[in-house]
Amino acid sequence: MLIVLPPSETKAVGGKNPAIDFDSLHFPTLNPIRKEIAHDLARLDISQAQEILKLNRKLLPEAQHNIELFHSPTMPAVLRYTGVLYNALDAVSLPNSAWEHLAIGSALFGVVMASDNIPHYRLSGTTKLPRSDASAPTLKRRWGNAISTALSETNEVILDLRSGTYQQLGQVKHAITVRVESEDSDGKRSVISHFNKHYKGQLARALLLHDATPDPAHAVQDLIVMAQECGFVVEHSKPHELTVVITNY
């Protein structure tokens, strides 16, 4: 099984590992696009970055991180990203074997494994990043089918927890997605927006620590059973979609 998480706008600073080595990253077929996007991102000066990346004054240091991304220290991707989902995941306390089943979507890197060392950067999946020829295609267009192909070639059961923006950068046929809904005392359902990240982080952690592995032949049912054994209320809502129901939200 491979669980694919979304990235986070917020990131830990610094790192104890050397500068980015693209050849060390998993999914090496993505490297040509990774390098092109990285060069275009690092090329932006502060004022350009402020406009293109929509940075307010408080976030201007993020532009400097981009300028330095080829030379700045790195750390494992799963520790680089911070925020609600990653707090719930608590990757530091997971065994190394769990990290081997965890990937992260990224506007800059496409998709990386949890252990891949990456620098601090700022780039949203909705950004139109200018190329050297001044054209500014969407990141979806830049990535084309590359992410979809790279993930499909893993031949793993894929649980795709990425947000819509990052799923659009590289959709995977037959990947299982997760919807999070709240249910009040009257049984009324509503979609949980921001805090769905928290529950997705909890779900990812629980499944990574579970002893079982879903069988590709009946992966959806296996994942439902695994999640239920971990205390989640889970329903099979669409052919390749699970709904996690949070009661008394």
Mean pLDDT of the chain: 96
- Work out the average pLDDT over 183-209: 92
CA-to-CA dists, residue 19 to 15, 71, 120, 220, angstroms: 9, 5, 10, 39
Least Cα distance to 147 among 10, 34, 1 occurs for: 34
Structural domain total, the chain:
1
Q: Is the pLDDT of residue 39 over 90?
A: yes
Residue matched to tokens 């192909």: 149
- Model confidence, pTM: 0.96
C-alpha Rg value of the chain to the nearest Å: 18
- Work out the average pLDDT over 175-183: 96
CA-to-CA dists, residue 208 to 11, 83, 161, 211, angstroms: 23, 19, 13, 8
pLDDT tens string 45-96: 999 999 999 999 999 999 999 999 999 999 999 999 999 999 999 999 999 9
Find the DSSP H helices in the chain: 31-42, 46-52, 60-67, 77-80, 84-89, 96-99, 139-143, 146-152, 164-169, 196-209, 219-229
**The predicted structure's pLDDT at residue 2:** 98
pLDDT tens string 94-126: 999 999 999 999 999 999 999 999 999 999 999
Q: In a 3-state reduction of DSSP, which class is residue 185?
A: coil
pLDDT tens string 132-163: 998 999 999 999 999 999 999 999 999 999 99
Least Cα distance to 243 among 162, 161, 179, 176 occurs for: 179
Q: Is the pLDDT of residue 249 over 70?
A: no
The residue count for the chain:
249
- Work out the average pLDDT over 168-177: 96
Q: Is 71 exposed, middle or buried (0-12, 13-18, 19+ CB in 10 A)?
A: exposed
Q: Which domain holds residue 237?
A: 2-247
